[in-house]
Amino acid sequence: MINTGDTAFILAAAGLVLLMTPGLALFYAGMVRSKNVLGTILQSFIMIALISMEWVYLGYSMSFGPDVGGVIGDLSWFALNGVTTEPSPDYATTIPHTVFMIYQCMFAVITPALITGAFAERVRFGPFVLFSLAWAVLVYNPVCHWIWGAGGWLGSRGVLDFAGGLVVHLTCGAGALAAVMVVGPRKNFGRANFMPHNLPMTLLGTGLLWFGWFGFNGGSALAANEIAAVAFVSTHLGGMAGMAMWTLMEWLRDDKPTTLGAASGAIAGLATITPAAGFVGPNSAIIIGLLAGLCCYFAVSFKNRLGFDDSLDVVGIHGLGGVIGTVCLGVFASKAVNPGGADGLLAGNPDFLVTQLFGIMVVGLYAFIVSWILCKVIDMAIGMRLDTDSEMVGLDQAEHSETAYNT
Amino acid sequence: MINTGDTAFILAAAGLVLLMTPGLALFYAGMVRSKNVLGTILQSFIMIALISMEWVYLGYSMSFGPDVGGVIGDLSWFALNGVTTEPSPDYATTIPHTVFMIYQCMFAVITPALITGAFAERVRFGPFVLFSLAWAVLVYNPVCHWIWGAGGWLGSRGVLDFAGGLVVHLTCGAGALAAVMVVGPRKNFGRANFMPHNLPMTLLGTGLLWFGWFGFNGGSALAANEIAAVAFVSTHLGGMAGMAMWTLMEWLRDDKPTTLGAASGAIAGLATITPAAGFVGPNSAIIIGLLAGLCCYFAVSFKNRLGFDDSLDVVGIHGLGGVIGTVCLGVFASKAVNPGGADGLLAGNPDFLVTQLFGIMVVGLYAFIVSWILCKVIDMAIGMRLDTDSEMVGLDQAEHSETAYNT
Amino acid sequence: MINTGDTAFILAAAGLVLLMTPGLALFYAGMVRSKNVLGTILQSFIMIALISMEWVYLGYSMSFGPDVGGVIGDLSWFALNGVTTEPSPDYATTIPHTVFMIYQCMFAVITPALITGAFAERVRFGPFVLFSLAWAVLVYNPVCHWIWGAGGWLGSRGVLDFAGGLVVHLTCGAGALAAVMVVGPRKNFGRANFMPHNLPMTLLGTGLLWFGWFGFNGGSALAANEIAAVAFVSTHLGGMAGMAMWTLMEWLRDDKPTTLGAASGAIAGLATITPAAGFVGPNSAIIIGLLAGLCCYFAVSFKNRLGFDDSLDVVGIHGLGGVIGTVCLGVFASKAVNPGGADGLLAGNPDFLVTQLFGIMVVGLYAFIVSWILCKVIDMAIGMRLDTDSEMVGLDQAEHSETAYNT
Amino acid sequence: MKKIEAIIKPFKLDDVKEALNGIGIKGMTVSDVKGYGRQKGHKEIYRGAEYEVDFIPKTKLEIIVDAAQVDQVVDTIREAANTDKIGDGKIFVLPIEEVIRVRTGEKGREAI
Amino acid sequence: MKKIEAIIKPFKLDDVKEALNGIGIKGMTVSDVKGYGRQKGHKEIYRGAEYEVDFIPKTKLEIIVDAAQVDQVVDTIREAANTDKIGDGKIFVLPIEEVIRVRTGEKGREAI
Amino acid sequence: MKKIEAIIKPFKLDDVKEALNGIGIKGMTVSDVKGYGRQKGHKEIYRGAEYEVDFIPKTKLEIIVDAAQVDQVVDTIREAANTDKIGDGKIFVLPIEEVIRVRTGEKGREAI
Ligand SMILES: Nc1ncnc2c1ncn2[C@@H]1O[C@H](COP(=O)(O)OP(=O)(O)O)[C@@H](O)[C@H]1O
Ligand SMILES: Nc1ncnc2c1ncn2[C@@H]1O[C@H](COP(=O)(O)OP(=O)(O)O)[C@@H](O)[C@H]1O
Ligand SMILES: Nc1ncnc2c1ncn2[C@@H]1O[C@H](COP(=O)(O)OP(=O)(O)O)[C@@H](O)[C@H]1O
């Protein structure tokens, strides 16, 4: 039976998650050079059209439709056939099924958008769109089904992921890693400085992302109940602890905390708490956030030495965050906090930690391999990269015949 | 009896619709030249003060107050007299009456703000304020009463408008057409390029508008129920389909999709789905969105050839969107989706389509004629236009003694 | 027993209040010079990390924990010990206790952030962080307990503050006054013009603040009920009336209304209605908003003559707004509107006005004195001010080794 | 070869460019500058306080021309940029010793 | 007539302008430039990596003066712009062949 | 002393700077300008309409050098800035009468 409070909550949450995509667009666009601003923004925005369309005619049914052998949903929900305002028996039983569908749609939209940070400032729009579509179908939908779909094999084995540490952050991180390996670094990478062109824009994006994350994690309780409260609180605490730790590290090591550092730490903390949000208590959430800030800070600095051009640190922040969060869930999960969850290592249940590690391995490998093949095939077939001149001129003019700023 | 879920939902929705006005301010301001940024922003912002004030002492009572002959509400609700936290018997019976009042206030605020895109960069602030106030009283309030007011004659005749295709988008589009005809084009229009000064700002505005639109359309169900779910879903699908189609057209015709095109298509789709949102299913919503992208794209390109200076395309996007959406509602409406709605052409009921066409004709003509007279009178009396020098210097300095950007 | 509608509402409200801190960051950052943008943004952002941490381990227990003699909460809720998803018996009895805790956390975060506008562009990051932390512990937490904490002495004496006129706005205003006196004016203050570097950013911030304020005031009803409706409506009306009045004053006196004036008036109106939001009717709310616009306009202009460098007018807008709002509450409060509230002067109860004046005096003096001592001590110990060269170079480079804008 | 520098009002740029095209000037370099001079700056209002802003946005043109063309170019700019108001700007003529086209290395007249 | 170009530290602009007013210089053109020279650039931190930014924001003044005034103007700028730190800037003096006021067509001394 | 002004393509700045360092040029002043010339501008699409934008972003270098160094500097810039495409830019050489270092008052060669 439909509950108005739960319905209001998930509709609001769906709106919040939608807002994260423009938020991400600004977060990323602020960090690129001014000649690539619009191209960067569009790479995120276009996902709203591309993936929402895919979701209605393919994605939702593949991800949440009637299970086929634990690996995928069949296509009987094509065009939302049978997805009505009646609550689904399997998912979110107190709200219209369509509300659950559209809420999940927003997750499917932002995940490939997250990848774009990795190959920023250098890929062609057409091949990029093709890649993102294929990636959604071949990586996101299956993994989503394995973990969240009724009958999905990883979920059945007890792998937990509250709001997308594996489904969203690890898949996009692994995809990013593969894409960077195929696409290669920007021209003059290492020689020239690629300074962010507008950090206030990045901070605005951070604010919108944080705000949206309450819908992303809080809404994953699928009802306005105690679990939503747990998830909302750990989300905020994870994010703030990530910010605290990253800025602290900068303070200690460069004796200057930075604004971008605060933003990066916050996103790291929010991404890392995501899989654990509804399963851990506030103090665990803070520890997870602190770990996120610490590890991602070092991962990102280390990458710089590696000369690996994951331009906006999708691997170092989202990929790593997804892994750490999923591991920490195995450690800190507690049925005292969420009876529907699990007990982790500290609650004397090492098996669950192992299960989580298994989940990480499977999802990480699968996402990386498929992404790499996809990217390689498209690159060989039609070429992912802009030619050098276009890269010099910038995405905005070369790919979109637009200029971000005119005086 | 008051339902907390419904109340929470409509309060949230009211907040979202309020946010659309700043969102619109940025959407428009990004497209003007840097010397007109603040003037453009203020033309939207000031509506929050101007129209909210008008709403309390005049508008709400005229629009929703006790009906007088189907044409207007009487003034017995002056100063919200009798509008209490008791639910109204006529509107939104599960939430405080004041919540319905403030939610509708946000609609009244943004409608005249939408018009400002048509005469951007060239009107004087004083006359503009006067025009907007008179327009709200003489155009918005009556039309709102005819369609949404208890006893309104168009509503009684069966004209449907879920969230403002006629009340908001057609009225502002018709008003925009009239205003452009009276005010005339910008100096050097056709000769000089009027390039958008800051497209990321426009994209940010688009993101905020989309987010707010969930409150605009979803909230128009006036409860967190199945209809809200229907409206929320069609809103998202209409917007994404509009974006998809517009960018596709650009891709095919100019072989370059643009960021502004994506934003324009999204707004076109969102505006077009508005009247139909709660009455049609997801697949119809997608078709409506695709049509919106297609028609508005051509309308706008066509306008460019016409040399008609509707500077930010209020007519081609909102006006046309309102018309298409209202017609499509007549075609795709289905009682299977919303029992409280109607059956349209495809459900074998051509009469409803005729009713909708009638509604378009009446509202379009009325809004156009009254707007034209208002604008003409004010222009003859005190002059709408800036003098040439001021137009050259720009609104910000000439009208507000401010500069948007200082280094 | 937990109500889903109320829980959804307060979770949404908590998200909205969190969003106000980035909103404030942009509101302030737009008004500083481009060399200080990031430093200004970070001064607000970092509060999310700093104060949230403090809140979990100290602040919440001090503010709302078991009362000790009416003056402070004991520390038995350290690390949220005992703060569970069970509703608290004392606060917000229809939602999880943790939801109330996190909602209040957002208030604690933004209050010291508000102060930063007073000493913008000239303080060192380290000492500033220290000051803010100490201020939260010694000023915010006690005052919060006195008024909102179960057993707090001012609350017990009948002092009312719906959403923070005293707890938030007066404390930060008094703190700002003290800080400016200790820190002193910016170099070349009075000689050079300190023009806002990006007013559209300030207007964006205003939009986000207004949106968030619905959560700030509406949520303070702690349920999606009639009181929330009252608070939501007065908030909107207070804000719009403030905007109307401030722009009107500019129009009359400088014959030019300005965009920044509209924003300032709106913030003044929103701040001023805050303490009264849930206790007064719409017409009173409008009067309060008009008074706010009027008084704050003159206060700010007057300050300019005083040569007192409260750079972004925290005293003249927030401090004064808190005072006016609290006094107006004493005048306009009505049990007809909110039975749980009080009757004010106009309802024939002058005593309540006296009580409110007493509250203002106590909170104002306490906050000012403690803030002054704190600031003085820190300044003498380690120095609050940047050295002249760093101030010339700007916060961004000197304190954070970053540049806001690169081309 | 001579270098002509002209400080004009920004909104006159298009007119000047077209006028120069009219006399066969096909190249120029343009930049945004701020000018200070006889023309009174404008006042700005900032929260009830009025400030005098005395640097006014101007556009600077730099045009390299053959010595023989100088007068014609100067007159053309004057006509096109003139609004008969204070602040219309100035034109400066400077000597140039050499002009080289980066791409080809051509010098002097050939380079422009 | 001579053209004086001065590259100074941005925050010194007001002082220099006032000083020049003091000696009766009532016109100048100002622009934002980036400078590279002896003065070490500053380091920027970007996600744990440090970058050396060696172009430093500077302000460029262009002042046309009567030949006779050159030394006085140069000295005035030097005094006002000096902070005794590396990077205070340079002053260049260039010959000018003609100055024309757009509005009136006045030339030479009358034009400034 | 001579003043060398070079208009180059923005993305060539780093190369040119390094090349100049190579020959011991340790100072220069850089600014953003817009260029108009042979190089065709680009088209922009704005809601289905196409516009021709004919001012192209360029970077302007100003380098004061000893007269003896002029040719070497010019050649160095040419090599580094050349992409063999129209629009690579121009180099202008202007006479300088005096150079003064603000901080020390040193003149001429010592000042740079
Ligand atoms: N002595 C000068 N040196 C350099 N530029 C000048 C000088 N005097 C004026 N200018 C430039 O010319 C512009 C116009 O000069 P101004 O005296 O305001 O009006 P007019 O052009 O009518 O003489 C100024 O804004 C400034 O940019
Ligand atoms: N050779 C040069 N040509 C043009 N501009 C120069 C030259 N050398 C220095 N500059 C300009 O002068 C500024 C200051 O020079 P710098 O060597 O840093 O310190 P100082 O002024 O103390 O000599 C530089 O930032 C640059 O803008
Ligand atoms: N006559 C001129 N005066 C000043 N600048 C010029 C002139 N002609 C060209 N330029 C500058 O040189 C740049 C390149 O010139 P252009 O004719 O486009 O190609 P090329 O450098 O191959 O000759 C132009 O963008 C403009 O900035």
Chain A residues in contact with E48 by the CB 8 A cut-off are: 249-250, 253-254, 261, 297-298, 300-301, 304
Stronger pLDDT, E54 or A47, i.e. the higher one: A47
- CB of A388 within 8 Å of a chain F CB? The answer is no
**Residues sharing a CB contact under 8 Å with residue A224, sequence separation 6 or more, in sequence order:** A5, A6, A8, A9, C4, C5, C7, C8, C11
- C311, C300 contact by CB (below 8 A): no
The tens place of each residue's pLDDT in chain C, 407 residues long, gives: 899 999 999 999 999 999 999 999 999 999 999 999 999 999 999 999 999 999 999 999 999 999 999 999 999 999 999 999 999 999 999 999 999 999 999 999 999 999 999 999 999 999 999 999 999 999 999 999 999 999 999 999 999 999 999 999 999 999 999 999 999 999 999 888 889 999 999 999 999 999 999 999 999 999 999 999 999 999 999 999 999 999 999 999 989 999 999 999 999 999 999 999 999 999 999 999 999 999 999 999 998 788 799 999 999 999 999 999 999 999 999 999 999 999 999 999 999 999 999 999 999 999 999 999 999 999 999 999 999 999 999 999 999 999 999 97
**Which residues have CB under 8 Å from C294's CB, separation 6+?**
C245, C246, C249
Q: Does D26 touch chain E (CB under 8 A)?
A: no
**Which residues of chain A are under the pLDDT cut of 70?**
none
3-state percent breakdown (helix, strand, coil) of chain D, nearest 5: 30, 40, 30
Asked if F48's CB is within 8 angstroms of B300's CB, the reply is yes
Question: How many angstroms is it from F8 CA to the middle of ligand 3?
Answer: 9
For residue A392, the distance in angstroms to the closest alpha carbon of chain F comes to 7
User: Is 0.90 exceeded by the ipTM?
Assistant: yes
How far apart, in whole angstroms, are the C-alpha atoms of residue A36 and residue A399? 10
Question: H-helix or E-strand containing F99?
Answer: strand F98-101
pLDDT 10s digits, B51-64: 999 999 999 999 99
Under DSSP, the state recorded for B219 is G
User: Chains with ≥3 Cβ pairs under 8 A against D?
Assistant: B, C, E, F
**Predicted local distance difference test score (pLDDT) of residue F48:** 77
pLDDT at A170: 98
Please indicate whether, in this complex, the C-beta atoms of D45 and B392 are within 8 angstroms of each other.
no
F58 lines ligand 3 (CB under 6 A): yes
- Counting as low any pLDDT under 50, the low residues of chain F are none
| Token pair belonging to C331 | 């005048």
Judging contacts by C-beta atoms under 8 Å, the chain F residues touching residue A191 are 14
CB–CB of F111 and E88 under 8 A?
A: no
Q: Of the residues E39, E83, E90, which should be mutated to test ligand 2's pocket, given the most ligand atoms within 8 Å of the CB?
A: E90
Measuring CA to CA, which residue among A202, D111, B141 is closest to residue F88? Answer: D111
Among the listed residues C245, C276, C388, the one whose alpha carbon sits nearest the alpha carbon of residue C341: C276
Q: What is the pLDDT of residue F49?
A: 80
Measured between CA atoms, the residue of chain F closest to residue D64 is F92
Enumerate the residues of chain E whose CB falls inside 8 A of the CB of residue D65: none
Number of H helices, E strands in chain F: 2, 7
Contact D108, D98 (CB under 8 A): yes
Tokens 């060269």 appear where?
Answer: C389
Decide whether any atom of ligand 3 lies within 6 Å of the D93 Cβ: no
The larger pLDDT score, comparing residue E51 to residue A242, is at A242
pLDDT for the residue C191:
82
Q: C28: which 2 tokens?
A: 């302030």
Q: Please name the member of F17, F95, F101 whose beta carbon is closest to the beta carbon of E90.
A: F101
For ligand 3, whether the C-beta of D112 sits within 6 Å is yes
Q: How far is the CA of E39 from the centre of ligand 2 (A)?
A: 8
Cβ neighbours for B175, distance < 8 A, ≥ 6 positions apart: B112, B115, B118, B135, B139, B367, B368, B371
Q: Which of A197, A199, A43, A20 is nearest to B207 (CA)?
A: A20
Token pair belonging to A254: 């460069």
Q: Do D11 and B392 touch (CB under 8 A)?
A: yes
CB contact under 8 A, C102 and A236: yes
Residues of chain D contacting B191 with CB distance shorter than 8 Å = 14
pLDDT at C333: 98
Average pLDDT of the residues of chain D: 93
Residue D51 clears pLDDT 90, i.e. is over it: no
Q: Check A260 against E48: CB less than 8 A apart.
A: no
Q: Does residue E37 have its Cβ closer than 6 Å to ligand 2?
A: yes
F7 CB under 6 A from ligand 2? no
* CA–CA separation, B53 and B59 (whole Å): 9
Cβ of F56 less than 6 Å from ligand 3: yes
**Ligand 2 atom nearest to CA at F103:** 22
Confidence (pLDDT) at A364 = 98
* Residue C402, helix vs strand vs coil: coil
The Cα E14–Cα B139 span in angstroms is: 53
CA distance C391 to chain E (A): 10
DSSP string for C158-222: T---SSSIIIIIIHHHHHHHHHHHHH-PPTTBTTB----SBHHHHHHHHHHHHHHHIIIIIGGGS
Distances in Å between the Cα of A131 and the Cα atoms of A172, A178, A382 are 13, 12, 11
pLDDT in tens, B224-238: 999 999 999 999 999
The predicted pLDDT at position A119 comes to 98
Residue from B197, B209, B232, B288 to probe the interface with A (highest A Cβ count within 10 Å): B232
pLDDT value of position B193: 81
With cut-offs at 50, 70 and 90, classify the pLDDT of residue E50. Answer: confident
Per-residue pLDDT of chain B (407 residues; tens, 9 = 90+): 899 999 999 999 999 999 999 999 999 999 999 999 999 999 999 999 999 999 999 999 999 999 999 999 999 999 999 999 999 999 999 999 999 999 999 999 999 999 999 999 999 999 999 999 999 999 999 999 999 999 999 999 999 999 999 999 999 999 999 999 999 999 999 888 889 999 999 999 999 999 999 999 999 999 999 999 999 999 999 999 999 999 999 999 989 999 999 999 999 999 999 999 999 999 999 999 999 999 999 999 998 778 799 999 999 999 999 999 999 999 999 999 999 999 999 999 999 999 999 999 999 999 999 999 999 999 999 999 999 999 999 999 999 999 999 97
